[in-house]
Amino acid sequence: MSGFLALFFQSLYTVSVIGLALYGLHALWLTWRLHRRAADPNVAPFLNDPLSWPAVTVQLPIYNERYVAERIIDACARLDYPTDRLEIQVLDDSDDQTRAIVQQRAASWRAAGVDVQVVHRPTRSGYKAGALAYALPQAKGEFIAIFDADFSPQPDFLRRTIPHFLADGQEDVAFVQTRWGHLNRDYSALTRSQALALDGHFVVEQQGRQAAGFFFGFNGSGGVWRRACIEDPAVGGWQADTLCEDLDLSYRAQLQGWRPLYLNHVTAPAEIPPQLTAFKRQQFRWAKGSVQTLRKLAGDVWRSNRPLTTRLFGLFHLGSYLLHPLLLLLVLVALPLMLLGADPAPILAVLSALTVGPPLLYAVAQRRLDPRAWWRRYAYLPVITFLGAGLCVNNSLAVWQGLRQDGGAFLRTPKFSVQQPSDHWQRSTYRLPLDSLFVAETFMLLYALVTVGVAMDVGKWWSVPFLLLYVAGFGTVVFVGLWQARGDWSHWFANLGLAGFHQAPDAAKRPLRDQPLN
């Protein structure tokens, strides 16, 4: 019986290691593919005649964003674009003081001659996808620019993106996605590490996929869509059966022959979540939504007439969050393997040889963005590495839900309008309490510590450094979460187990005033 169990756990362990190695190989391949591309060739044609500029509608989906609503409306109203061809739609689903802020700023800009319209829906059905679909028939623009509430585009954004739709041979461009910048990169170690990961995604992954002619996704904000593509009956428009409506629509468009375009030299600055629980919520939604999109479109991608490598890398892209269940499975089976006398260390050599992929990807991204001081940003690699391991419980649950459910609640990532280290979010009504996954993450921290102790006791020393990564990862998530939620401990303990995983009440439902910490 023990032999059968050892074989069973060794098989699970091997599958996990091979899967993680494939993800490392994928990162290496994209980095190499980008290396062959010296520079971003997407130089837009210059349009000097104002009469040649098409009508553009800027859509701003907003839900309870009292701290940043004014900033995004003002930034879009200041876009350097002919005012008679620019319309701004504020898609406001808010049920707090944000409504009054939005109405006041819209009225102020209309008085100044800028066409700012506020769109309210009878219900919030479909969440962001529903808001975008509801407002589109009312839009005047031939092109639709989209910004989430935490963004602050530069005045020349439209002048640097719209021409890419108008050049000869660009009639089939579905959307233009720009690189996300960071308004608060230097706010904390947490925001610096998130910025490092986002830079890697945009600078290497998005450019690498584009260079290879592979599928890649619209990132939901900081980009422009051709309206004709969204309204193409074969594409199907905005749909709310996944939590990643952006990824879903972009893949459906590409499957129908429309072409994406990524511009690395144009940035759209945005705010990074400074609260760990908010970051976890964002990751949960992205993980669940991307797996829902995989489940929805995997068959269409595989049956498409694209080359085999394009189809395989498309499926790999849609399933990127499957990495986290593999990470979780790896640490879970390590303890029984060692108790059964098996040695997991040799197969770790396969994994360790390819785990250089993501660190190299991040390094290349920073080198391209800042050749002189890239290493200062890259120094936060350990933090994002620990977070990657520590979030495997959070994201594994999201993957499980994504495999079983369509749609679901779109739990917003709160924005606090923090940019300088002196800015504070801890007293905000939008701050999130600890979620119930904290218990599972604490258990996994203890489990990892026990596994390290057993590895040392039975002499599996080669496994210890790998297992310590999990200890650091779960420890980071647990202790940073506890520290940031120290003012909400009594509230969390009172509600523990009543709300369910990731269903903690939205902070926007609290009294609409800033509350002091307890």
Q: How large is the greatest C-alpha to C-alpha distance in the chain, in angstroms? A: 80
Q: Which of 131, 86, 80, 144 is nearest to 110 (CA)?
A: 86
Distance CA 250, CA 241 (A): 14
Question: 């808001």: which residue's tokens?
Answer: 131
Cα torsion through 257, 263, 267, 272, rounded to 10: 60
Catalytic, out of 92, 93, 115, 488: 93
246 an active-site residue?
Answer: yes
Catalytic, out of 96, 115, 150, 246: 246
DSSP per-residue letters across 293-341 = HHHHHHHHHHHSSS-HHHHHHHHHHHTGGGHHHHHHHHHHHHHHHHHTT
Are the C-beta atoms of residues 56 and 141 closer than 8 Å to each other? Answer: yes
475-479: long-range contacts (C-beta < 8 A, 24 or more apart)?
A: 475/386, 475/390, 475/445, 476/383, 476/386, 476/387, 476/390, 477/276, 477/280, 477/387, 477/390, 477/391, 477/394, 477/441, 478/390, 478/438, 478/441, 478/442, 478/445
Give start and end residues of each alpha helix (H) in 85-234.
98-111, 127-135, 157-161, 163-166, 189-199, 207-212, 227-230
Token code pair at residue 319: 């399933």
DSSP per-residue letters across 383-446 = HHHHHHHHTHHHHHHHHHHHHH-SS------------STT---TT-TTPPPPPTHHHHHHHHHH
DSSP per-residue letters across 444-494 = HHHHHHHHHHHHHHTT-GGGHHHHHHHHHHHHHHHHHHHHHTGGGHHHHHH
Question: 């939590």: which residue's tokens?
Answer: 243
Q: Which of 313, 353, 61, 283 is nearest to 211 (CA)?
A: 313
435 an active-site residue?
Answer: no
Residue 23 neighbours by CB under 8 Å, 6+ apart = 320, 323, 326, 357
Amino acid at 222: G
Helix (H, G, I), strand (E, B) or coil at 118: strand
Where b means 16+ CB within 10 Å and e means fewer, 195-229 reads: bbbbbbbbbbbbbbbbbbebbbbbbbbbbbbbbeb
- Residues annotated as part of the active site: 93, 246
